[in-house]
Structure 1
Amino acid sequence: MPYSQRTHGVLLRRLIEHLDGAVEQAYVDAGLDYRPRFTPILRALLNDGPASLRTLSARTGVTHSAVSQTVSQMAARDWVSLEPGKDARERIVTLTAFAHAQLPALRRCWAATAAASEGLDADIGQPLADVLGRALEALDQQPFSARLAEASTALSGADQ
């Protein structure tokens, strides 16, 4: 089936498979036990220092639940450590010495990813991040659930 005849969900899942699969393989090839989903958290910790899960969620735009799961995976691989916060329920995430030691290899992978992304952008004739950003902004203005409800109402009215 041509890509133009597939649904948004199928296309987005396929795109993620292509991108994350290739990037994850690049990490493996570089000898890193690292996942693409670690990057927003690692960069937030590099840029702004140790933080709670809630703060990391706000900094990265990733849900609290996903941050919690990702941080657990990162801790299991020694990329981060967790320490108690001021509140007994709060945990503070900190980069480990191991993570800092891996930064040169990670930065090389990130540079290669950025260069590959620029090539993809050139092939499609526009920055993919811009297209995805505009889609997310449109959905912030009117969620897809509201769009579905409107379409369903319009189609129900047309059936009558």
Structure 2
Amino acid sequence: MPHSLRTHGVLLRRLTEHLDGAVERWYARAGLDYRPRFTPIVRALLERGPLSLRALSDHIGVSHSAVSQTVTQMGARGWVAPGPGRDGRERIIALTAFAMERLPLLERCWAETETASRTLDADIGQPLADVLIRALDALECRPFADRLSEASAQSSGDSL
């Protein structure tokens, strides 16, 4: 691969395209109109019951905006439905009967995905999730913006 294509962003996008693309095709082959990005929301709702968008965002660790967009896509496909919250501004998201009917098939797809993931882990010699978690933990301790500032200061010092 040319050096210019080996940046973290390009590599992560290619990895996501490989994984999510294959899994999304697997869902379609199983007869599900379902995207991999729906899974954290479905699992959160199965575990905790109906939740507000904010609670979903906090629980799965992605932005409120990302959760809102994903919930909109899920609602259009019949997987979730909004309900009223404690006040007029809050929406409570719940799985639909449609989702619950498809849960056994979805769980089978998840199990097959987990098995396939273990073969990838074996091929690379370590669990990919562990590598990603370590990278995220390192960025929590020292954000990439700080690392960029340090690199800039270092390169400015080098030129003196």
Compute the TM-score of the two structures, normalised by the length of structure 1. Answer: 0.97
2:33 pairs with 1:33: yes
The corresponding residue for 2:102 is 102
Say whether the 8 Å CA contact 1:3–1:11 is kept in structure 2: no
Say whether the 8 Å CA contact 1:81–1:93 is kept in structure 2: yes
Identity over aligned pairs, percent: 69
Structure 2 CA distance, aligned partners of 1:82 and 1:5?
42
Q: Which amino acid aligns with 1:76?
A: A
Structure 1 CA distance, aligned partners of 2:22 and 2:8?
21
2:134 pairs with 1:134: yes
SS of residue paired to 1:15 = helix
Say whether the 8 Å CA contact 1:80–1:96 is kept in structure 2: yes
2:58 pairs with 1:58: yes
Query: For 1:74-111, what per-residue CA distance to the aligned partner results, in whole angstroms no more than 9, with x for missing partners?
Result: 11111001011011110000100000000011011100
Structure 2 CA distance, aligned partners of 1:107 and 1:138?
32
SS of residue paired to 2:108 = helix
Q: Which amino acid aligns with 1:149?
A: S
1:5 Cα shift? 6.6
1:3 Cα shift? 7.7
Structure 1 gaps of 5+ residues are none
Kindly tell me the number of residue pairs found equivalent between the two proteins. 160
The corresponding residue for 1:73 is 73
1:4 Cα shift? 10
Change (3 A) 1:59 1:90: same
SS of residue paired to 2:34 = coil
SS of residue paired to 2:126 = coil
Task: Report the aligned-residue RMSD.
Answer: 1.3
1:136 Cα shift? 0.1
Q: Which amino acid aligns with 1:133?
A: I
Compute the TM-score of the two structures, normalised by the length of structure 2. Answer: 0.97
The corresponding residue for 1:147 is 147
Say whether the 8 Å CA contact 2:5–2:11 is kept in structure 1: no
1:158 Cα shift? 0.3
Structure 2 gaps of 5+ residues are none
The corresponding residue for 1:85 is 85
Moved over 4 A (4+): 2-5
Structure 2 CA distance, aligned partners of 1:157 and 1:150?
10
